[in-house]
Amino acid sequence: MSREPVQTTSVAIVTGASQGIGRATALRLARDFSAVVLAARNKDDFQKTAAAIDAAGAESLICALDLREPRSAEILVNSTLDRFGRIDALLNIAGAVPQIDLFEMTDAQWEDGIALKLHGARRLTAQAWNALKASNGSVVLISGTAALDPKPAFAAVAAINAAIITLAKAFAEQGIKDGVQVNSVVPGAVLTGRRQAFFEKWAPVHHLTVEEALKKFPEEAGIARFGKPEEIADLMAYLVSPAAKWMTGTSVRMDGGEIKGI
């Protein structure tokens, strides 16, 4: 039996909230929203993140689920509405896609990336749409610079991220009619825990220390440094704030100048 929703003034859902950009975004939104719903497969850091949100004065709700599963979107939205009665912002951040060469990726690997990042975001946005209409809410989908500069080693990342930008644009067009703001964010090389772990494995194979590898990559990418998850989180918070309400259907790049084209 559903309990009576808690009276809240603003509620944000953040997917991929257990680590990296998702966790940083959830923590950042605790300053602006009265409740933040945390969704991810990995439960390891949930309690710590939830405690930090509560300490910031917002209320947290943990939803451990796999967005590759078709029913997960319905479960997440219903859990949010049962607890809080509304949804004001949806930030689709879940969905790391592995770096595997174009000619080596299996169909299963392609499909796994599509199921989580693309279909997960599509299903969840569609499932939350009526609640977002009711609140004149905001949606952000996360892409990546590989969409704009595809390489063979990042084929799946590029294809799926390009699809995310297109999907956001399509939702935004409907959102103009329905009063829902939709944008996408295109982050560059952000030093998350996952990227750090990658370089810890990559560096010895290339006869480098981890420190040397972390210095070498930005230099080769033509940027001054890696980005920080908190910097992307600040951008996310702006996009779902009243200050950005007229901004919709836009893909915002934050990459330290990595993409050289206009």
Indicate the pLDDT class of residue 155, thresholds 50, 70 and 90. Answer: confident
Q: How many CB atoms lie within 10 A of CB 206?
A: 10
In this structure, is residue 145 part of a structural domain? yes
CA distance 169 to 106: 29
| % residues pLDDT > 70 (the chain) | 97
In this structure, is residue 1 part of a structural domain? no
Q: Is 88 in the same domain as 51?
A: yes
Q: Is 114 in the same domain as 172?
A: yes
Q: What is the pTM of this model?
A: 0.93
pLDDT digits (tens, 9 = 90+) for 200-240: 888 898 899 999 989 999 998 899 999 999 999 999 999 99
What residue has token string 């992307």? Answer: 232
Q: Is 59 in the same domain as 169?
A: yes
- Quick one: pLDDT at residue 100? 77
- Quick one: pLDDT at residue 1? 46
In this structure, is residue 160 part of a structural domain? yes
In this structure, is residue 134 part of a structural domain? yes
- Residues 13-36 have a mean pLDDT of 96
Q: How many CB atoms lie within 10 A of CB 174?
A: 13
Q: Record the tokens describing residue 241, joined without a space.
A: 């704030």
Q: Is 186 in the same domain as 197?
A: no
Q: Is 110 in the same domain as 218?
A: no
Which CATH number belongs to the domain containing residue 241 in this structure?
Answer: 3.40.50.720
- Say which residues have a Cβ less than 8 Å from residue 130's Cβ, sequence separation at least 6: none
Average model confidence (pLDDT) across the chain? 92
Phi/psi at 78 (5° precision): -65, -40
Q: Is 124 in the same domain as 157?
A: yes
3-class secondary structure, 150: coil
pLDDT digits (tens, 9 = 90+) for 157-184: 899 999 999 999 999 999 999 999 999 9
Indicate the pLDDT class of residue 21, thresholds 50, 70 and 90. Answer: very high
- What is the 8-class DSSP label of residue 95? -
Q: Is 182 in the same domain as 202?
A: no
Q: Are 186 and 262 in contact (CB under 8 A)?
A: no
Q: How many CB atoms lie within 10 A of CB 48?
A: 11
CA distance 86 to 82: 9
Helix axes 193-205, 210-221, angle to 10 degrees: 100
Q: Is 221 in the same domain as 101?
A: no
Q: Is 203 in the same domain as 152?
A: no
Q: Is 136 in the same domain as 209?
A: no
pLDDT digits (tens, 9 = 90+) for 46-73: 888 999 999 999 999 999 999 999 999 9
Q: Is 48 in the same domain as 72?
A: yes
- DSSP symbols for 166-225: HHHHHHHHHHHHHT-EEEEEEE--B--HHHHHHHHHHHHHTT--HHHHHHHHHHHHT-SS
Q: Are 97 and 110 in contact (CB under 8 A)?
A: no
Q: Dihedral of CA 81/84/85/89: which sign? A: negative
In this structure, is residue 164 part of a structural domain? yes
In this structure, is residue 259 part of a structural domain? no
Indicate the pLDDT class of residue 118, thresholds 50, 70 and 90. Answer: very high
Q: How many CB atoms lie within 10 A of CB 201?
A: 10
- Residues 141-170 have a mean pLDDT of 92
What residue has token string 């409740």? Answer: 35
In this structure, is residue 68 part of a structural domain? yes
Q: How, if at all, do strands 251-254 and 11-15 pair? A: unpaired
- Please count the structural domains in the chain: 2
Indicate the pLDDT class of residue 243, thresholds 50, 70 and 90. Answer: very high
Q: SS3 string of 20-73?
A: HHHHHHHHHHCCCCCEEEEEECCCCCHHHHHHHHHHCCCEEEEEECCCCCCCHH
In this structure, is residue 6 part of a structural domain? no
- Residues 15-43 have a mean pLDDT of 94
Q: Domain residues for 250?
A: 11-190+228-254
Q: Is 103 in the same domain as 134?
A: yes
Q: Record the tokens describing residue 99, joined without a space.
A: 């770096």
